[in-house]
Amino acid sequence: MPPHRQDASKRTPPLVPILMLGVFGLLNTEMGVIGILPMIAERYGVSISAAGWVVSSFALAVAVSGPILPLLLSRINRKHLMLFVLGLFVAGNLVSAFTSNFAVLLIARIVPALFHPVYCSMAFSVAAESVPREESSRAVAKVFVGVSAGMVLGVPLSSLIANAASLTYAMLFFAAVTAVAFAATLRFVPSMPASGRLSGAAQLHVLKRSVIWLSLAAVIGINGALFGLYSYLAEYLELVTRYDWRTISVMLFVYGLSNIAGNLLAGRLLTGNPRRLSRIYPFALGGVYTLMLLFGQSGVVMAVLLVLWGMLGGLGGNLMQHWIVSAAPEAPEFANGLFLTSANLGTTLGTSVCGLLLAGMDTRYVVLGGLLFVVFGMTANGLRMAQNGRGAAFPFSKKIG
């Protein structure tokens, strides 16, 4: 048992809220620019599609570094790594706020993005280890609240600040959030040396387990289903459900609140019966998408479905992280890095496939893309659970050769 798990109850303030704030800062930096892409395009004299690289290049950097940097840096004191990553994000956001060169803006986002998986993978594993083992799923779920808040609140907040003040102040908002997380980490987070952790070669050994690959495939499928469709939700609500833009804004906010509620609920469900949740979840998500396909033109039905879908989105992030980490519990940072990479790959593939369907068919049929990824994720998850039999939820309480 890690030494910092034993004295977790003596820490004041607790680690989890600080980790949640740090993750919020990083996700706010990643996703918040979506709401100000037109302003970025205007300021730097580039097209909207070119401005989109501030989002896609960030995601690509996360996907590439996810399985690499957490592994290479796993022997370094965790607190020092957290401070380094948060400091890098503060610096990157400050450069982004004041540069007049688009290439410099991209570099100022890509470099911190490479270390995004380092912080997030540590945040998940440290949260799990900072509480008694039976409470670890709830602690991780609370950190996921920071992920959801960063994704859901970052876009409207940055847009509000940019419209009320300027693009520079929106970027400074990103820097301020991560600066507060840096100060809290510096003041309250104890030193966490890397002694007793596996070497990089030993952590790589987990890739020999077929269940890891099945778990990665399941994450790509489910996350592709969630974010492939979510990327085009506003257009779907406008053209299919026929909401006006004010109602769309309200519905997106409702989705976000439901997502956060799903994160909190996930802690309870994963602590209780994770195997049952793993079995039911893909069918529940597929059921919501089927109802969207059939009744998406009804404003009342769609409002109910958005609440359910938002909760499933919050549940899904926690569940997918659990699938991969439970397959390699002795290498949590590496496993979390793999989770972040597979989740980003799922998002990229899901968005691409749903975008192709949107371009070639009626808007309502974009839901078919989500259903396609649900089936893929459901199949991979079924194989994962079948391989591990009754121990699928926590399959590696004993080491597998």
pLDDT digits (tens, 9 = 90+) for 326-372: 888 888 778 888 998 898 889 888 888 888 888 888 888 999 999 99
Pair 128, 252 in one domain: no
Mean pLDDT, residues 221-238 taken together: 88
Mean pLDDT, residues 238-245 taken together: 89
Pair 204, 69 in one domain: no
* Nearby residues of 35 by Cβ (< 8 Å), 6 or more positions away: 154, 155, 156, 157, 158, 159, 162
pLDDT of residue 140: 87
Q: Which helix (H) or strand (E) holds 139?
A: helix 136-164
Pair 117, 158 in one domain: yes
Pair 111, 243 in one domain: no
Pair 356, 304 in one domain: yes
Q: Is the pLDDT of residue 1 over 50?
A: no
In this structure, is residue 328 part of a structural domain?
Answer: yes
Pair 246, 376 in one domain: yes
pLDDT of residue 369: 93
What does the alpha-carbon distance between residue 107 and residue 273 come to, in Å, rounded to a whole number? 44
Q: Is the pLDDT of residue 176 over 90?
A: yes
Mean pLDDT, residues 53-60 taken together: 85
Mean pLDDT, residues 170-184 taken together: 95
In this structure, is residue 194 part of a structural domain?
Answer: no
Residue 398 pLDDT level (bands cut at 50, 70, 90): very low
Residue 33 pLDDT level (bands cut at 50, 70, 90): confident
Residue 195 pLDDT level (bands cut at 50, 70, 90): low
What's the mean pLDDT when you consider all of the chain?
86
In this structure, is residue 50 part of a structural domain?
Answer: yes
pLDDT of residue 9: 42
* Nearby residues of 360 by Cβ (< 8 Å), 6 or more positions away: none
Mean pLDDT, residues 244-253 taken together: 83
Mean pLDDT, residues 48-77 taken together: 85
Q: Which of 188, 219, 254 is the last residue of a domain?
A: 188
Q: Is the pLDDT of residue 229 over 80?
A: yes
Q: Is the pLDDT of residue 277 over 70?
A: yes
Q: Which of 147, 165, 188 is the last residue of a domain?
A: 188
Pair 358, 225 in one domain: yes
Pair 123, 173 in one domain: yes
The one-letter code for the residue type at 339 is F
Mean pLDDT, residues 183-203 taken together: 78
pLDDT of residue 80: 95
Pair 322, 233 in one domain: yes
In this structure, is residue 6 part of a structural domain?
Answer: no
In this structure, is residue 3 part of a structural domain?
Answer: no
Structural domain range at position 351: 200-391
Q: Could you say which DSSP state residue 86 is in?
A: H
Q: Is the pLDDT of residue 311 over 60?
A: yes
What does the alpha-carbon distance between residue 395 and residue 329 come to, in Å, rounded to a whole number? 10
Mean pLDDT, residues 221-239 taken together: 88
Q: Is the pLDDT of residue 8 over 50?
A: no
Pair 124, 216 in one domain: no
Pair 147, 229 in one domain: no
Indicate the pTM of the whole model: 0.80
Between these two residues, 10 and 108, which has the higher pLDDT value? 108
pLDDT of residue 196: 57
How many domains in the chain? 2
Please report how many Cα atoms fall inside a 13 Å half-sphere around the Cα of residue 63, on the Cβ side.
Answer: 16
In this structure, is residue 399 part of a structural domain?
Answer: no
Residue 51 pLDDT level (bands cut at 50, 70, 90): confident
Pair 273, 375 in one domain: yes
Q: How many CB atoms lie within 10 A of CB 190?
A: 12
Residue 389 pLDDT level (bands cut at 50, 70, 90): low
* Nearby residues of 345 by Cβ (< 8 Å), 6 or more positions away: 63, 220
pLDDT of residue 207: 85
pLDDT of residue 96: 95
Between these two residues, 116 and 71, which has the higher pLDDT value? 116
In this structure, is residue 46 part of a structural domain?
Answer: yes
pLDDT digits (tens, 9 = 90+) for 322-339: 999 888 888 877 888 899
Between these two residues, 375 and 11, which has the higher pLDDT value? 375
What does the alpha-carbon distance between residue 131 and residue 267 come to, in Å, rounded to a whole number? 13
Mean pLDDT, residues 16-45 taken together: 88
Poorest-confidence range of 13-22, 157-166, 182-191, 195-204? 195-204
Q: Is the pLDDT of residue 91 over 50?
A: yes
Token reading at 312: 């499933």
- With beta carbons less than 8 A apart as the criterion, state whether 313 and 285 touch: no
CATH number assigned to the domain comprising residue 381: 1.20.1250.20
* Nearby residues of 159 by Cβ (< 8 Å), 6 or more positions away: 35, 36, 170
Residue 158 pLDDT level (bands cut at 50, 70, 90): confident
In this structure, is residue 217 part of a structural domain?
Answer: yes
Mean pLDDT, residues 178-197 taken together: 87
